[in-house]
Amino acid sequence: MNKAFQDIANAGGTTVRTWGFNEVTSPNGVPYYQRWSGSTPTINTGTDGLQNFDKVVAAAKANGIRLIVALTNNWADYGGMDVYVNQIVGQGQPHDLFYTNAKVISAFKSYVSTFVGRYKNEPTIMAWELSNEPRCKGTTGTTSGTCTTQTITKWATDLSAYIKSIDSNHLVAIGDEGFFNQPGNPSYPYQGGEGVDFDANLKISSIDFGTFHAYPISWGQTSDPAAWGLQWIKDHATSQKAANKPVIIEEYGITPANIQGSTYTSWLSTVVSSGLTGDLIWQAGTVLSNGQRTSNDGYAIFPDDATYQVLKNHAAALKSRG
């Protein structure tokens, strides 16, 4: 952990977004934060549970890093929303019941209360995020057919206010991909079909800043993904100004490697010039002392990558903006 945070700090990074969740139905040899037995969850406060997250906080603090912590996942990685739905409502039930089922909401709030309450006076935590990439659909693709942008906006309004009632010391964001709600727009991330309305969500009084992600190729924007990403950044900067709230791009990725450096240089220059509050790379890679490289889903940037210098230069430029 210390080496990872050290590499980020050496690149000029000041903030890391990380996971505050891992749902399991049986221990699998790695740290987990909540274990389920039927419909009953038990939060793990042991050395392989929240005490492990204490070490994350301590390592971040030692390297001058602040943390943005997401509290669940839209996707099946590390458990996420579908574990709540499967264990409480029934296996394979619609993903979006996470946002509307009273028992599921109560169980998640119980987890949030314990996790957030544990760190409510910890200055190393910068912000809480309701989820990583909430959508009407999850990994399984099952939905009730009734989930709309209003469903997720209502959930975000309720849950963010709940977090504020527990912890008034930290910022709260949604952790969404920043999809707009413009039905009929020819570009998929602007159509609102995933149940996310960025501008409506940014207006929620208990949401302190907006978030968005950028994976143009994965989202079908293949004709000129670099140019599409530039406009995506500019449009969110426009929303930032309209709402008078900070907005950050907290995940972005493009491949292949031969266009990565030039694309990121262009995108990050636009972050600076547009007035967007800031950005986080997905994802920071580290080479450990034994030579092992941390996980890489194709987007990780390691200190020995050419793009690492792009990020260092950008960090300096962003700080010089003031």
Catalytic, out of 23, 194, 250, 251: 251
Q: Which domains does the chain have, with CATH numbers?
A: 1-176 (3.20.20.80), 217-322 (no CATH)
- Whole-angstrom CA distances from 134 to 141, 267, 308 are 13, 24, 29
Segment 175-234, tens digit of pLDDT: 999 999 999 999 999 999 999 999 999 999 999 999 999 999 999 999 999 999 999 999
What stretches in the chain show pLDDT beneath 70?
none
Catalytic annotation present for 129: no
Half-sphere exposure of 198 (CA within 13 A, CB side): 31
Catalytic annotation present for 177: no
Provide the pLDDT for residue 256.
Answer: 86
Taken as a whole, the chain contains a residue count of 322
d(CA 314, CA 261): 12
Asked if residue 246 lies in contact with residue 211, where contact means CB atoms within 8 angstroms, the answer is no
Count other C-beta atoms under 10 Å from residue 292's C-beta.
Answer: 8
Provide the pLDDT for residue 285.
Answer: 96
Provide the pLDDT for residue 177.
Answer: 98
DSSP, collapsed to helix, strand or coil, labels residue 24 as strand
d(CA 322, CA 320): 5
Extract the tokens encoding 44. 């793990």
Catalytic, out of 133, 177, 194, 250: 133
CA 80, 83, 86, 87 torsion: positive or negative?
Answer: negative
Q: List residues bridging with 70 in a β-sheet.
A: 19, 129
d(CA 179, CA 321): 27
DSSP, collapsed to helix, strand or coil, labels residue 101 as coil
Q: What are phi and psi of 70, to 5 degrees?
A: -85, 140
- pTM beyond 0.85: the answer is yes
